[in-house]
């Protein structure tokens, strides 16, 4: 029997077991009653039904023959979801997140003995076979061995290259079958340590972070809840693009948001972001930003956070009663007692909660004092007079208007006050300071705390934003990923990771990912030449050995875009992108393509969906996305002068391409690309 036939027989046997299990489960009536134990059992059955639904199509993707010392070799089949034999409890498909499955990813073929950490301790042994198996709709498609003991192998990358050469559709995909050793280490990194990942474009940062969430939820299911996890990413369109990975991994309820939207939800519905749609366009096109870069950078800094804390402390300090309270003539609650209540008895509560508690205790005190009057009517009259006086006494400590308080802070710091603040319309850079102010005054409800936070494209996040999130996240619960070479929002974001490390008082792990999986060698080498020109030049990306077309750089006006798109379509290219320098240019090209009969999509700031197919978008919006073929238009000296911002923009644009990259210029080629 050939290897393929043997695996085919194994697949049929596994499918038969899965079908039997699935059919049996379907026959158990759904429990809808109120008995708690029954509900828990039904919950488990439902979980298994969902798991079996996907397992019955593609039960596994890998096989690992592992021999634990002094025991028999076991063939372990690894899949997206683990399935156990009902009677013996033995797994016949191992979940990719299970401890033993880690060997499938970390084993490189050169280790003689291997080990993994199981809940019972370290398990040692040797690997005899590592096999990739492709199953589509219950049919065995492909079997590729990357290691077989005692045999010469062509190299472990063959299967990875096969996966990478596939065309992409409109959603990011899971990579469970081909997670690489360095990615596996990140996915399984200790739960208690915050993690910062600096990764080259296309190194799999976003993908790996999503797999890490799925892993954490599996391994620490007793401690973590999906509803308490959140992914922050730059915009709604990008969130739409990555939205399929977690459901594919069987995880459905993790919140995804932009920092701005989340911040506004904390502040309440009266606050809005000003020019949501136009912020990026202004920043990258007409330089209309009202505020200088220094002000933006300061508002995102830890120095600003420190000043804000001092300002709030002073504000709260001022709220301590300065005079005695007199509910009626002859009765006094002295200021020392009230001070003691506020500063000592209620010290653990946030300031606005302290006010509430003070109010409640003062009312109780009035009740007790009023009991001195024997006549009930008299008692009532004194009480209502006292409550009136209490209200007026507390007016010095009314609920603060955050926008006004923030205005006072900006004035104190001699910073310009944006005119829109009066209408509670905020700049992106004002959100972190305001949310921080809110947190300082009102505290953070238990329900509003996070178990784990993923921050994607973190180079565009300010240290102040991170500090705000840290206050409401359980210790160590951060996976932060970014690429400084793609930091196109330098004024709001960061230029090195030091300030982030400072937020965690340096108790943070830092990992670099240099291998890039997205693009061909030709595209990576071309992009690396831009990288090397940057003031801060991260290590060049290392390509996987996947060769493709040469990068084309040619003098051509944008009128020819339709020809290029047609040529790409003729090659069956699935996702095609035309990247322009401005939104205006994107709009014009998109119209031109639509007039020529192409189903082209214009992606602009404020958009919510990414459709795939043919996309036309400004280069600054392309961050995070990838396309089979990319055309960068107008790469001239005028549009991309030789400065840091434009080097980064071009780097972002070039690294979006998987298989083909074309660069056009009409005039003088940008000096960044000059030979
Ligand atoms: N181990 C892997 N196996 C197969 N494909 C992979 C692997 N790692 C990454 N990829 C693919 O590489 C591409 C880039 O991944 P991803 O978008 O997560 O990278 P990134 O580092 O976030 O990129 P960027 O910073 O440029 O946005 C995706 O198509 C992803 O599926």
Structural domain boundaries of the chain? 3-166, 186-289+425-516, 321-394, 535-673
Same fold, 186-289+425-516 and 535-673: yes
Sign of the alpha-carbon torsion through 177, 183, 186, 189: positive
Spacing, Cα 426 to ligand 1 middle (Å): 34
Q: Give CA–CA dist 218/101, Å, rounded.
A: 13
Spatial separation of the C-alpha atoms in residues 552 and 168, rounded to whole Å:
21
Q: List pLDDT tens digits, range 642-669.
A: 998 899 999 999 999 999 999 999 999 9
pLDDT in tens, 601-618: 999 888 888 989 999 999
Measured in Å, residue 59 CA sits from the centre of ligand 1 at 24
Instruction: Identify the weakest region by mean pLDDT among 77-81, 371-375, 577-581.
Output: 371-375
Residue 496 has pLDDT above 60, yes or no: yes
Report the nearest-CA residue for atom 29 of ligand 1.
518
pLDDT tier at 290, thresholds 50, 70, 90: very low
Check whether 655 is labelled as a binding-site residue: no
Atom of ligand 1 nearest to the CA of 482: 25
Q: 255 among the known binding-site residues?
A: no
> Is 520 known as a binding-site position?
no
**For residues 620 and 581, is the Cβ–Cβ distance under 8 A?**
no
Q: Which residue has the higher pLDDT, 368 or 89?
A: 368
Rounded Cα–Cα distance for residues 253 and 227 (Å): 6
Residue 220 Cα, ligand 1 centroid: separation in angstroms?
A: 25
Angle at the Cα of 622 (from 618 to 623), degrees rounded to 5? 135
Beta bridge partners of 513: 199
Q: Counting atoms of ligand 1 from 1, which one is nearest the CA of 513?
A: 21
Q: Mean pLDDT throughout 497-524?
A: 93
Residue 199 marked in a binding site: yes
Residue written as tokens 């404020």? Answer: 606
Per residue in 56-107, pLDDT tens? 999 999 999 999 988 999 999 999 999 887 777 788 899 999 999 999 999 9
| Nearest-atom index, ligand 1, CA of 456 | 22
Q: How far is the CA of 623 from the centre of ligand 1 (A)?
A: 13
Tokens at residue 422, please? Answer: 């009066």
Question: 388 among the known binding-site residues?
Answer: no
pLDDT, tens digit (0-9, with 9 covering 90-100), for 20-51? 988 888 888 888 888 888 888 888 888 888 88
Q: Are strands 121-136 and 114-118 parallel, antiparallel or unpaired?
A: antiparallel
Is residue 578 within 8 A of residue 656, CB to CB? The reply is no
Mean pLDDT, rounded, for 634-649: 93
**CA distances in angstroms from 572 to 172, 494, 566, 575, 579, listed in the order given:** 19, 40, 10, 9, 20
73 is in an annotated binding site: no
Q: How far is the CA of 204 from the centre of ligand 1 (A)?
A: 3
pLDDT given for residue 195 in this prediction: 96
Pick from 89-98, 372-381, 451-460, 579-588: least confident = 372-381
Of 412, 475, 411, 401, which is closest to residue 441 (Cα–Cα)?
401
3-state SS assignment for residue 110: coil
Whether the pLDDT of residue 407 is over 90: the answer is yes
Q: Is the dihedral of CA 264, 268, 272, 276 positive or negative?
A: positive
Beta bridge partners of 325: 333
Q: What percent of the chain has pLDDT over 90?
A: 64
User: In 3-state terms, what secondary structure has residue 394?
Assistant: helix
Q: pLDDT grade, residue 289 (50/70/90)?
A: very low
CA of 317 to the centre of ligand 1 (A): 51
Beta bridge partners of 74: 66
Write down the pLDDT at residue 280.
61
Distance of alpha carbon 355 from alpha carbon 334, whole angstroms: 17
Ligand 1 mean position, distance from CA 263 (Å): 29
Counting from 1 in the atom list of ligand 1, the atom nearest the Cα of 163 is: 4
**Is 204 assigned a ligand-binding role in the annotation?**
yes
The pLDDT, as a whole number, for residue 648 is 93
List ligand 1's pocket residues with C-beta within 6 A: 160, 163-164, 173, 175, 178-180, 183, 199, 201-207, 483, 517-518, 624, 626, 655
Q: Is the pLDDT of residue 111 over 90?
A: no
558 marked as binding residue: no
Is the pLDDT score of 283 beyond 70? no
Asked if the 186-289+425-516 domain carries CATH number 3.40.50.300, the reply is yes
Q: Is the pLDDT of residue 599 over 90?
A: yes
The alpha carbon of 164 and the centre of ligand 1 are apart by a number of angstroms equal to 9
- Probe ligand 1: pick from 96, 232, 518, 624, max atoms within 8 Å of CB? 518
Question: What is the predicted pLDDT for the residue at 277?
Answer: 55
Calculate mean pLDDT across residues 366-374.
88
Q: At what angle do helices 3-27 and 36-55 cross, to 10 degrees?
A: 150
Residue to probe by mutation, ligand 1, list 156, 171, 204, most atoms within 8 Å of CB: 204
Token output for 570: 């003729």
- Whether domain 535-673 has CATH 3.40.50.300: yes
- The residues pairing with 663 across neighbouring beta strands, listed in sequence order, are 553, 632
Q: Are strands 62-68 and 73-79 parallel, antiparallel or unpaired?
A: antiparallel
Residue 149 contacts residue 128 (beta carbons within 8 Å)? yes
Q: Which of 220, 213, 222 is CA-nearest to residue 195?
A: 213
Instruction: Please give the Cα distance from 664 to 578 (Å, whole number).
Output: 11
């Amino acid at each position: 029997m050939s290897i393929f036939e043997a695996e085919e027989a194994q697949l049929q046997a596994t499918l038969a077991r899965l079908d039997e299990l699935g059919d049996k489960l379907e026959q158990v009536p759904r429990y809808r009653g109120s008995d708690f134990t029954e509900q828990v059992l039904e919950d488990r059955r439902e979980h298994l039904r969902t798991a079996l639904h996907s397992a019955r199509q593609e039960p596994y993707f890998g096989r690992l023959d592992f021999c634990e010392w002094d025991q028999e070799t076991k063939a372990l089949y690894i899949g997206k979801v683990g399935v156990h034999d009902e009677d013996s409890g033995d797994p016949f498909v191992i979940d990719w997140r299970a401890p033993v499955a880690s060997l499938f990813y970390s084993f490189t073929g050169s280790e003689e003995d291997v080990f993994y950490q199981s809940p019972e301790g370290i398990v040692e042994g040797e690997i005899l076979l590592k096999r990739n198996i492709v199953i589509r709709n219950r049919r065995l498609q492909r079997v590729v061995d990357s290691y077989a003991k005692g045999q010469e192998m062509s190299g472990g990358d063959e299967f990875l290259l096969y996966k990478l050469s596939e065309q992409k559709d409109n959603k990011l995909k899971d990579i469970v079958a081909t997670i690489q050793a360095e990615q596996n280490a990140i996915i399984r990194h200790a739960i208690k340590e915050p993690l910062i990942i600096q990764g080259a474009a296309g190194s799999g940062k976003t993908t790996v972070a999503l797999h890490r969430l799925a892993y954490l939820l599996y391994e620490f299911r007793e401690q973590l809840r999906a509803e308490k996890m959140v992914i922050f990413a730059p915009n709604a369109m990008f969130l739409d693009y990555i939205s399929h990975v977690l459901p594919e991994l069987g995880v459905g309820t993790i919140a995804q948001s932009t920092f701005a939207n989340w911040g506004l939800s904390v502040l309440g519905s009266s606050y809005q972001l000003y020019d949501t749609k136009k912020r990026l366009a202004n920043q990258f096109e007409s330089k209309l930003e009202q505020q200088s870069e220094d002000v933006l950078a300061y508002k995102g800094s830890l120095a600003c956070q420190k000043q804000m804390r001092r300002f709030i402390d002073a504000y709260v300090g001022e709220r301590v009663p300065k005079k005695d309270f007199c509910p009626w003539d002859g009765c006094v609650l002295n200021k020392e007692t009230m001070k003691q209540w506020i500063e000592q008895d209620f010290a653990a509560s946030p300031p606005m909660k302290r006010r509430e508690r003070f109010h409640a205790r003062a009312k109780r005190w009035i009740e007790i004092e009023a009991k001195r009057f024997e006549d009930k009517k008299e008692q009532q009259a004194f009480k209502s007079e006292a409550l009136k006086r209490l209200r007026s006494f507390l007016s010095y400590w009314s609920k603060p208007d955050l926008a006004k308080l923030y205005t006072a802070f900006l004035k104190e710091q001699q910073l310009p006050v944006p005119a829109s603040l009066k209408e509670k319309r905020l700049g992106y850079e004002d959100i972190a300071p305001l949310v921080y102010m809110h947190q300082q005054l009102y505290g953070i409800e238990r329900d509003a705390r996070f178990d784990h936070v993923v921050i994607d494209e973190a180079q565009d996040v300010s240290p102040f934003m991170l500090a705000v999130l840290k206050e409401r996240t359980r210790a160590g619960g951060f996976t932060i990923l970014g690429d400084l070479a793609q930091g196109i929002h330098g004024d709001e974001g960061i230029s090195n990771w030091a300030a982030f490390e400072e937020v965690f008082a340096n108790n943070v792990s830092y990992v670099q990912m240099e291998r890039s999986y997205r693009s061909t060698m030709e595209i990576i080498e071309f992009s690396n030449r831009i990288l090397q020109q940057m003031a801060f030049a991260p290590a060049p990306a290392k390509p996987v050995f996947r060769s493709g077309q040469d990068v084309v750089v040619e003098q051509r006006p944008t009128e020819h875009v339709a020809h290029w798109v047609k040529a790409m379509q003729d090659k069956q290219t699935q996702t095609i992108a035309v990247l322009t320098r401005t939104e205006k240019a994107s709009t014009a090209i998109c119209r031109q393509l639509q007039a020529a009969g192409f189903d082209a999509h214009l992606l602009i700031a404020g958009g919510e969906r990414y459709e795939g197919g043919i996309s036309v978008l400004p280069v600054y919006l392309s961050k995070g996305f990838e396309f089979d073929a990319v055309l960068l238009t107008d790469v001239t000296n005028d549009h991309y002068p030789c400065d840091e911002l434009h080097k980064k923009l071009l780097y972002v644009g070039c690294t979006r391409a998987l298989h083909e990259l074309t660069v056009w210029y009409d005039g003088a080629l940008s000096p960044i690309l000059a030979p």
